Protein backbone atom coordinates (compact mmCIF):
# COMPACT_ATOMS: atom_id res chain seq x y z
CA UNK A 1 0.00 0.00 0.00
CA UNK A 2 1.28 3.41 -0.94
CA UNK A 3 1.85 5.79 2.01
CA UNK A 4 0.56 9.39 1.61
CA UNK A 5 3.29 11.89 1.27
CA UNK A 6 4.38 13.54 4.46
CA UNK A 7 3.55 17.27 4.75
CA UNK A 8 6.32 19.65 4.34
CA UNK A 9 7.65 21.66 7.28
CA UNK A 10 5.85 24.76 5.96
CA UNK A 11 2.49 22.98 5.85
CA UNK A 12 3.04 21.64 9.39
CA UNK A 13 3.70 25.19 10.64
CA UNK A 14 0.49 26.49 9.02
CA UNK A 15 -1.58 23.65 10.56
CA UNK A 16 -0.15 24.31 14.04
CA UNK A 17 -0.89 28.03 13.71
CA UNK A 18 -4.55 27.33 12.72
CA UNK A 19 -4.92 24.92 15.68
CA UNK A 20 -3.58 27.51 18.13
CA UNK A 21 -6.00 30.18 16.79
CA UNK A 22 -8.90 27.76 17.19
CA UNK A 23 -7.88 26.95 20.76
CA UNK A 24 -7.67 30.66 21.61
CA UNK A 25 -11.19 31.24 20.29
CA UNK A 26 -12.55 28.33 22.35
CA UNK A 27 -10.83 29.62 25.50
CA UNK A 28 -12.24 33.17 24.99
CA UNK A 29 -15.76 31.78 24.40
CA UNK A 30 -15.53 29.66 27.57
CA UNK A 31 -14.30 32.69 29.58
CA UNK A 32 -17.13 34.90 28.27
CA UNK A 33 -19.69 32.22 29.09
CA UNK A 34 -18.31 31.87 32.60
CA UNK A 35 -18.45 35.63 33.18
CA UNK A 36 -22.03 35.75 31.89
CA UNK A 37 -23.08 32.94 34.25
CA UNK A 38 -21.39 34.71 37.18
CA UNK A 39 -23.15 38.01 36.39
CA UNK A 40 -26.54 36.30 36.05
CA UNK A 41 -26.05 34.52 39.39
CA UNK A 42 -25.12 37.80 41.12
CA UNK A 43 -28.17 39.57 39.70
CA UNK A 44 -30.45 36.72 40.70
CA UNK A 45 -29.23 36.69 44.26
CA UNK A 46 -29.16 40.53 44.57
CA UNK A 47 -27.25 42.49 47.18
CA UNK A 48 -27.56 41.32 50.73
CA UNK A 49 -30.08 43.46 52.63
CA UNK A 50 -28.84 44.99 55.82
CA UNK A 51 -31.05 46.05 58.73
CA UNK A 52 -30.49 47.90 61.96
CA UNK A 53 -32.56 46.52 64.82
CA UNK A 54 -33.35 48.28 68.09
CA UNK A 55 -36.25 48.86 70.47
CA UNK A 56 -35.69 52.64 70.55
CA UNK A 57 -33.97 55.13 68.26
CA UNK A 58 -32.97 58.55 69.61
CA UNK A 59 -31.80 61.61 67.66
CA UNK A 60 -29.75 63.91 69.88
CA UNK A 61 -29.78 67.71 69.72
CA UNK A 62 -26.53 69.72 69.85
CA UNK A 63 -27.03 70.18 73.60
CA UNK A 64 -27.30 66.42 74.10
CA UNK A 65 -31.06 66.39 74.68
CA UNK A 66 -33.48 64.12 72.82
CA UNK A 67 -34.63 65.92 69.67
CA UNK A 68 -36.51 62.95 68.22
CA UNK A 69 -37.54 59.49 69.41
CA UNK A 70 -38.78 56.53 67.38
CA UNK A 71 -40.12 53.56 69.34
CA UNK A 72 -43.14 51.31 69.99
CA UNK A 73 -45.64 52.09 72.75
CA UNK A 74 -46.99 49.60 75.29
CA UNK A 75 -49.85 48.64 72.92
CA UNK A 76 -47.54 47.79 70.04
CA UNK A 77 -48.08 51.00 68.03
CA UNK A 78 -44.94 52.64 66.61
CA UNK A 79 -44.69 56.39 67.12
CA UNK A 80 -42.37 59.26 66.27
CA UNK A 81 -41.91 62.24 68.59
CA UNK A 82 -39.94 65.30 67.48
CA UNK A 83 -39.31 68.31 69.74
CA UNK A 84 -37.70 71.73 69.43
CA UNK A 85 -38.23 73.75 72.57
CA UNK A 86 -41.96 73.70 73.31
CA UNK A 87 -42.85 72.96 69.68
CA UNK A 88 -43.48 69.30 68.97
CA UNK A 89 -44.77 66.80 66.40
CA UNK A 90 -46.24 63.46 67.45
CA UNK A 91 -47.05 60.85 64.79
CA UNK A 92 -48.44 57.41 65.66
CA UNK A 93 -50.23 54.51 64.01
CA UNK A 94 -52.58 54.41 66.99
CA UNK A 95 -55.67 55.82 65.31
CA UNK A 96 -53.60 56.72 63.27
CA UNK A 97 -53.08 60.34 64.27
CA UNK A 98 -50.83 63.39 64.01
CA UNK A 99 -50.57 66.03 66.74
CA UNK A 100 -48.79 69.36 66.25
CA UNK A 101 -47.95 71.95 68.93
CA UNK A 102 -46.64 75.45 68.27
CA UNK A 103 -43.67 77.21 69.92
CA UNK A 104 -45.83 77.91 73.01
CA UNK A 105 -46.60 74.22 73.39
CA UNK A 106 -50.35 74.88 73.19
CA UNK A 107 -51.57 76.28 69.86
CA UNK A 108 -51.83 73.30 67.60
CA UNK A 109 -53.61 70.95 65.25
CA UNK A 110 -54.78 67.36 65.36
CA UNK A 111 -55.51 64.98 62.50
CA UNK A 112 -56.65 61.44 63.17
CA UNK A 113 -58.95 58.51 62.45
CA UNK A 114 -60.77 56.85 65.36
CA UNK A 115 -61.95 53.25 65.85
CA UNK A 116 -65.33 54.09 64.23
CA UNK A 117 -63.65 55.13 60.96
CA UNK A 118 -64.40 58.80 61.67
CA UNK A 119 -61.66 61.12 60.45
CA UNK A 120 -61.21 64.38 62.33
CA UNK A 121 -59.21 67.59 61.94
CA UNK A 122 -59.04 70.07 64.83
CA UNK A 123 -57.40 73.50 65.00
CA UNK A 124 -57.11 74.97 68.52
CA UNK A 125 -55.82 78.12 70.18
CA UNK A 126 -53.66 78.38 73.29
CA UNK A 127 -56.77 77.52 75.36
CA UNK A 128 -56.76 74.08 73.68
CA UNK A 129 -60.57 73.75 73.67
CA UNK A 130 -61.76 76.45 71.25
CA UNK A 131 -61.20 76.48 67.52
CA UNK A 132 -62.53 74.59 64.51
CA UNK A 133 -63.32 70.88 64.11
CA UNK A 134 -63.92 69.01 60.85
CA UNK A 135 -65.28 65.46 60.82
CA UNK A 136 -66.13 62.84 58.20
CA UNK A 137 -68.01 59.67 59.19
CA UNK A 138 -68.05 56.22 57.65
CA UNK A 139 -71.71 56.61 56.55
CA UNK A 140 -70.85 59.66 54.41
CA UNK A 141 -71.96 62.32 56.89
CA UNK A 142 -69.59 65.23 57.48
CA UNK A 143 -69.50 68.50 59.35
CA UNK A 144 -67.59 71.64 60.26
CA UNK A 145 -67.98 72.92 63.84
CA UNK A 146 -66.91 76.21 65.45
CA UNK A 147 -66.11 75.99 69.18
CA UNK A 148 -66.18 78.88 71.66
CA UNK A 149 -63.73 79.59 74.48
CA UNK A 150 -65.52 77.01 76.65
CA UNK A 151 -65.27 74.30 74.01
CA UNK A 152 -68.97 74.43 73.14
CA UNK A 153 -70.26 74.18 69.57
CA UNK A 154 -71.62 77.58 68.53
CA UNK A 155 -71.92 77.02 64.79
CA UNK A 156 -72.14 73.95 62.58
CA UNK A 157 -72.35 73.17 58.89
CA UNK A 158 -73.48 69.57 58.42
CA UNK A 159 -74.19 67.24 55.54
CA UNK A 160 -75.93 64.06 56.67
CA UNK A 161 -76.14 60.69 54.95
CA UNK A 162 -79.93 61.15 54.84
CA UNK A 163 -79.52 64.01 52.37
CA UNK A 164 -80.15 66.84 54.84
CA UNK A 165 -77.76 69.79 54.73
CA UNK A 166 -77.96 72.52 57.38
CA UNK A 167 -76.23 75.52 58.86
CA UNK A 168 -76.90 75.75 62.62
CA UNK A 169 -76.34 78.55 65.12
CA UNK A 170 -76.25 77.54 68.80
CA UNK A 171 -76.35 79.48 72.06
CA UNK A 172 -74.02 79.12 75.05
CA UNK A 173 -75.81 75.93 76.13
CA UNK A 174 -75.41 74.38 72.64
CA UNK A 175 -79.14 74.78 71.92
CA UNK A 176 -80.00 75.39 68.26
CA UNK A 177 -81.45 78.89 67.92
CA UNK A 178 -81.26 79.32 64.17
CA UNK A 179 -81.06 76.91 61.24
CA UNK A 180 -80.82 77.25 57.49
CA UNK A 181 -81.39 73.91 55.82
CA UNK A 182 -82.02 71.94 52.68
CA UNK A 183 -83.83 68.62 53.08
CA UNK A 184 -83.50 65.43 51.03
CA UNK A 185 -86.17 66.70 48.60
CA UNK A 186 -84.13 69.92 48.07
CA UNK A 187 -86.73 72.02 49.92
CA UNK A 188 -84.99 75.00 51.58
CA UNK A 189 -86.06 76.36 54.98
CA UNK A 190 -85.09 78.87 57.67
CA UNK A 191 -85.99 78.32 61.33
CA UNK A 192 -85.66 80.53 64.40
CA UNK A 193 -86.18 78.80 67.75
CA UNK A 194 -86.60 79.88 71.37
CA UNK A 195 -84.59 78.73 74.39
CA UNK A 196 -86.88 75.71 74.85
CA UNK A 197 -86.29 74.57 71.28
CA UNK A 198 -89.72 75.65 70.09
CA UNK A 199 -90.02 76.99 66.57
CA UNK A 200 -91.08 80.64 66.62
CA UNK A 201 -90.50 81.61 63.00
CA UNK A 202 -90.24 79.40 59.97
CA UNK A 203 -89.72 80.14 56.30
CA UNK A 204 -89.89 77.54 53.56
CA UNK A 205 -90.14 77.34 49.80
CA UNK A 206 -92.78 74.68 49.26
CA UNK A 207 -92.70 71.90 46.67
CA UNK A 208 -94.86 73.97 44.29
CA UNK A 209 -92.30 76.79 44.42
CA UNK A 210 -94.38 79.16 46.58
CA UNK A 211 -92.79 80.70 49.71
CA UNK A 212 -94.39 80.46 53.14
CA UNK A 213 -93.63 82.47 56.28
CA UNK A 214 -95.14 81.24 59.56
CA UNK A 215 -95.03 82.68 63.09
CA UNK A 216 -95.74 80.46 66.09
CA UNK A 217 -96.41 81.15 69.77
CA UNK A 218 -94.64 79.64 72.80
CA UNK A 219 -96.82 76.51 72.50
CA UNK A 220 -95.76 75.93 68.88
CA UNK A 221 -99.17 77.02 67.57
CA UNK A 222 -99.24 78.85 64.24
CA UNK A 223 -100.51 82.40 64.79
CA UNK A 224 -99.71 84.11 61.49
CA UNK A 225 -98.97 82.97 57.92
CA UNK A 226 -97.83 84.87 54.88
CA UNK A 227 -97.72 83.00 51.59
CA UNK A 228 -98.22 83.38 47.86
CA UNK A 229 -100.94 81.64 45.88
CA UNK A 230 -100.57 79.71 42.64
CA UNK A 231 -100.95 82.92 40.64
CA UNK A 232 -98.32 84.75 42.70
CA UNK A 233 -100.77 86.90 44.67
CA UNK A 234 -100.03 87.27 48.43
CA UNK A 235 -102.15 85.80 51.20
CA UNK A 236 -102.07 86.77 54.87
CA UNK A 237 -103.74 84.84 57.71
CA UNK A 238 -103.93 85.67 61.42
CA UNK A 239 -104.94 82.66 63.52
CA UNK A 240 -106.55 82.16 66.90
CA UNK A 241 -105.27 79.72 69.51
CA UNK A 242 -107.54 76.98 68.14
CA UNK A 243 -106.09 77.43 64.64
CA UNK A 244 -109.15 79.15 63.17
CA UNK A 245 -108.51 82.26 61.09
CA UNK A 246 -109.33 85.53 62.82
CA UNK A 247 -108.23 87.64 59.87
CA UNK A 248 -107.35 86.96 56.26
CA UNK A 249 -106.34 89.06 53.28
CA UNK A 250 -107.35 88.96 50.60
> Average pLDDT for residues 7-25, to the nearest whole number?
63
Three-state DSSP at 39 gives: helix
The pLDDT tens digits for 171-221 are 999 999 999 999 998 999 999 999 999 999 999 998 888 899 999 999 989
SS (H, E, C) 126-142: CCCCCEEEEEECCCCCE
pLDDT, position 209: 86
Reply yes or no on whether the pLDDT at 150 is more than 90. yes
Per-chain mean pLDDT for the chain: 87
Q: Checking DSSP bridges between strand 119-124 and strand 78-84, what pairing results, if any?
A: unpaired
Percent of the chain at pLDDT > 70 equals 80
CA–CA distances in Å: residue 185 to residues 18, 31, 156, 214 = 97, 82, 21, 20
The pLDDT tens digits for 46-98 are 556 788 888 899 999 999 999 999 999 999 999 999 999 999 999 999 999 99
> Average pLDDT for residues 88-111, to the nearest whole number?
96
pLDDT, position 1: 46
**Sequence-ordered alpha helix ranges (H) in the chain:** 9-45
Structure confidence at residue 115 as a pLDDT band (50, 70, 90): confident
Classify residue 33 by burial, with Cβ atoms within 10 Å: 0-12, 13-18, 19+. Answer: exposed
pTM score: 0.73
Q: What is the CA radius of gyration of the chain?
A: 42
pLDDT, position 214: 96
Contacts of 149 (CB under 8 A, 6+ apart): 127, 129, 130
Backbone angles phi, psi at 7, to 5 degrees: -65, 155
Half-sphere exposure of 143 (CA within 13 A, CB side): 20
Percent of the chain at pLDDT > 90 equals 68
pLDDT, position 9: 61
Amino acid sequence: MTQPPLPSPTELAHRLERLERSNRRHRLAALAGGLACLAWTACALGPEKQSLRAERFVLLAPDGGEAAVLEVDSNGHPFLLMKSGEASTYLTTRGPSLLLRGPDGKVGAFLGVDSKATSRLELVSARLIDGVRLTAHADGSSGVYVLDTEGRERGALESLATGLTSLQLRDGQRRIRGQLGLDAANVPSVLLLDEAGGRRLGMVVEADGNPLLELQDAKARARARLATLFDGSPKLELLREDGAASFGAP
